[in-house]
A and B are shown apart, each in its own frame.
Chain A
Amino acid sequence: MIFNRYRRGLFITSFLAAPVILYLVYVISPYIQAFYIAMTDWRGVTATPTFIGLDNFKRLFDDGTFWKAVTHNGALLVLLPLITIVIALFFAFLLNVGGAQGTSGIRGSKFYRVVFFFPQVLAVAVVAVLFQQVFRPDGSGMLNGPLMALGVKPIGFLSDPGVAFWSVLGVMVWQAVGFYVVLFSAGLASIPRDMFEAAQIDGAGRVSLFFRITLPLLWDTVQVAWVYLGILALDVFAIVWVMTDQHGGPDWSTTVMAAEIYRNAFQYFRFGYASALGVVMFFFTVGFAILSLRFSRRERIEY
């Protein structure tokens, strides 16, 4: 009956309305406002900013520091998922099927599983402060102390522009690996044991076990990991802001898009311009998510 259907529709709508409205107010409307602010010269204090059209976007193309930041995000986008996934896969494989019999983990795998996860528990700011000390350039540094004791010149992990970016990447990998070891372990646990056993009976060694069985069957999980890590690489902010000298230095060698947005908004008081940078970053991130989902689509293997 029409009346009943109408009543039911109203009933369902009334439940959906609240989350939709909340989403519109707290997610969609700030986005739209950011797009609007990007087209003003707002400096954060006036109540009536001037509309300047696309000027901020034109200015952005000449902003060398921002493009450096984009390059760093780009490098992270390639390297962070690659390195993290390779290491995490290697560890997960060892922990689950790398043992002598080929069907269980190496000795002490339960212990390692917990230890690998430790970095994930720490807040990013804590990690950043921690590594500031680890990377300290004098004898009090955890890495440079022993180096100097051996008579090696101390390495400016965070103070040498040629090294700083790699230090940041290292810390990000260090923090991320644990989570993906656990993720891949869960994926491996769902692969039937008899597959590995059958392969072993057929004479497969650890290497071919990994490449012929583990990796193909884990592909879905790897794909998820790739997207997550990619977004992490585009989003990175806190670790750079807290850990590196001059919030993205030395000499802009570690700066990232989010740091440039923050710098322009809260240090240069160019909220309009910062919003324009934010809009550009928004498109980078959405573009990445779409592309990576499209290109990593593959036949699901049934087992």
Chain B
Amino acid sequence: MPNTPHISRRELLRGAALVPVAGALAACATPAAKPSASSSAAPVATSAANPFGMADNKPLEVWIFDGGFGQDYAKNIHQPLFKSKHPNVEIKHNATKEITKVLQPRFAGGNPPDVIDNSGANAMDFGALAQDGQLQDLTPLLDAPSWDDPNTKVRDTIDQAVIDLGTYDGTFSVLGYVNYIFGIWYSQKAFRDNGWEAPKTWDEFLKLCETIKKSGKMAPFTYAGKFPQYLYEPLLTMAAKIGGAEVLVNIDNLEDGAWKTDAMKASATAWAEIGAKYLMEGTAGLDHVQTQTAQNKYKVAMLPSGSWLENEQKTTTPSDFEYGMFPIPDFGGSDKMPYGMLHSQPSENFIVPSKSANPQGGMEYLRAMLSKKAAGDFSEMVKTVSVVKGAGEGRKLSPGAESATKAFAAAGTNVVYYRWQTWYAQLKDEAIAATGELMTGGIKPDAYLERLQKKADEIKKDSSIKKYKR
């Protein structure tokens, strides 16, 4: 057979050696532009039943952060509901504790999945994603008819704060699904048994700490010492109570001197006093689970946390423990915000990558999540409050969730939040380090504020860090 191409053994080996070399070189650490295949899909006509024009046979890839809420809610609540309307869409469900490690290479490679619950300590940086145009504009989702009622827009079924906080650069692109409600948590049983009462003013709070300390039954106060962000939360909330919500707005906007206001000083000084006098022994070296478990064992009376606490501790909490939450007490007569004001912000953030294969399907998945049934079942399953208005109505809530829900309702419009910690990760780490020092007496309140101001100024000057405003 004279026409058969003749390849010698050596040529074959050489060829075999070079193929992976070329492949490996192309796939190395440096980013490589790839032809985008995402938008090539032929758009499908939109309709009331299919507001985003999703192709009804394209698979959908979902990644869930497997953290405090687990992943069962997605598999057992959201996905069956989605399937009920779109039976031909195949859902590929995935879950991980390490969102960044698994998904960051997918973004860099240009083939991210369609829906991501971007949460947890190893979540991807929203700022980096937004800066690079990786986030799908979710405005069409807001304007689409809700899953339950074609005459109501999705926009009107969720809290306004979700839209405010999910907006990056003027584009709504991150959907917070859970309403985190922050406060000081205690055991209603322990307080009842000992005749203690949730304090309404800072003086009462100090007196209560003193009483508990003297009783010798337990330590008055603790926080997740290894993670001092649990403590800067009430510190900042109290500063907002004293000086008004703009204290936090200015900090977010990196305004000059924003960290060094009188309100911040008063709050930092007050909390440093708690740190010096009333902390449980060893607090600085314990993490959130250890301190929360100490509370469940009645070794400590109070700790600051958010509304996920009850679900997180469900395996160690005694059945009659009865979690309760009280808001930051009144500091003084000149407080700018009334008693009951709260820090609450939507979290458990879902995104749809704009360069995914099926962003329309991703938005449809979010629309299903925001239905009353999905949100209500979710709240019941993971003992928490979703951002969907009225989804908890008629559901049986646990004592902690009930207490938080009541406090949230009582706060009305007196709700504050801050975003600097998601916008500027370096500032967050500095605040964590400095707050730990403040609470253990390593630095004085003045030096504390000085340090944070310095870091904020550095970030403001650094041209490589994208700035945000609210």
Contacts and interface: CB of A to CB of B under 8 A. Distances in A.
Interface of A: 14, 17-18, 21, 25-26, 29-30, 33-34, 36-37, 41-49, 52, 55, 59, 62, 135-139, 141, 144, 154, 156-161, 245-246, 249-252, 263, 266-270, 273
A1 B397 CA distance: 93
Nearest to B443: A251
B284 A252 contact: no
14 contacts: A17-B17, A33-B28, A44-B108, A45-B107, A137-B282, A156-B282, A156-B440, A159-B282, A246-B227, A249-B433, A251-B434, A252-B433, A268-B426, A270-B464
Contacts of B434: 251
Interface string B111-126: 0000000000010110
Contact of B425 (A14, A17, A42, A267): A267
B128 interface: yes
A18 B284 contact: no
Contact of B436 (A17, A21, A34, A249): A249
Given A18-B17, A45-B134, A156 B128 contact: no
Interface in B241-298: 281-286
Contacts of A250: 284, 433, 436-437, 440
Interface residues of B, number: 49
Interface string B92-113: 0000000011001001101000
Closest 6 CB pairs of A and B: A137-B285, A138-B282, A159-B285, A137-B282, A159-B284, A269-B128
Given A21-B17, A34-B29, A37-B29, A47 B437 contact: no
B25 interface: yes
Contacts of B34: 47
B103 to A, nearest CB: 10
B285 A268 contact: no
B441 to A, nearest CB: 11
B119 to A, nearest CB: 15
A46 B31 contact: yes
Contact of B132 (A45, A55, A144): A45
A160 to B, nearest CB: 7
Contacts of B129: 45
A37 B101 CA distance: 19
Contacts of A161: 437, 442
A157 B131 CA distance: 41
A36 B31 CA distance: 11
B363 interface: no
A30 B125 contact: no
B17 A29 contact: no
B282 A144 contact: yes
Contacts of B21: 21, 25
Contacts of A246: 226-227, 429, 432-433, 436
Contacts of B432: 246, 249
B24 A25 contact: yes
A160 B125 contact: no
Contact of A43 (B132, B225, B286): B132
B283 to A, nearest CB: 8
Best-surrounded residue of B10, B108, B433 (most CB of chain A within 10 A): B433
A29 B101 CA distance: 22
A245 B124 contact: no
Nearest to A253: B433
A159 B224 CA distance: 12
B30 A33 contact: yes
Contacts of B437: 161, 250-251
B33 interface: yes
Given A45-B107, A45-B132, A47-B33, 20 more contacts: A14-B10, A30-B29, A34-B29, A44-B128, A45-B124, A47-B108, A48-B33, A59-B462, A59-B464, A136-B286, A138-B282, A159-B225, A161-B442, A245-B227, A245-B285, A246-B227, A249-B433, A250-B436, A251-B434, A273-B464
B159 to A, nearest CB: 28
Given A14-B10, A43-B128, A154 B25 contact: no
A14 B14 CA distance: 9
B285 A156 contact: yes
B41 interface: no
Contact of A41 (B107, B425, B429, B464): B464
Nearest to B100: A266
B224 to A, nearest CB: 10
A26 B24 contact: yes
B409 interface: no
A159 B440 contact: yes
B32 interface: yes
A212 to B, nearest CB: 47
A251 B440 CA distance: 11
Contact of B31 (A49, A158, A252, A270): A49
A69 B465 CA distance: 22
Contacts of A252: 433
Contact of B284 (A41, A43, A137): A137
A47 B104 CA distance: 12
Interface in B24-52: 24-25, 28-34
Contacts of B433: 246, 249-252
Interface string B7-30: 000100000010001001100111
Nearest to A36: B30
Contact of A269 (B24, B124, B284, B440): B124
A252 B21 CA distance: 41
Nearest to A138: B282
Contacts of B283: 137
A218 B47 CA distance: 83
Interface string B168-180: 0000000000000
Nearest to A49: B31
Nearest to A10: B10
B29 A45 contact: no
B20 to A, nearest CB: 8
Nearest to B22: A25
B28 A30 contact: yes
A140 to B, nearest CB: 9
A137 B226 CA distance: 11
Given A21-B21, A25-B24, A159-B440, A46 B132 contact: yes
Nearest to A46: B132
Contacts of B108: 44-47
Interface in B417-453: 425-426, 429, 432-434, 436-437, 440, 442
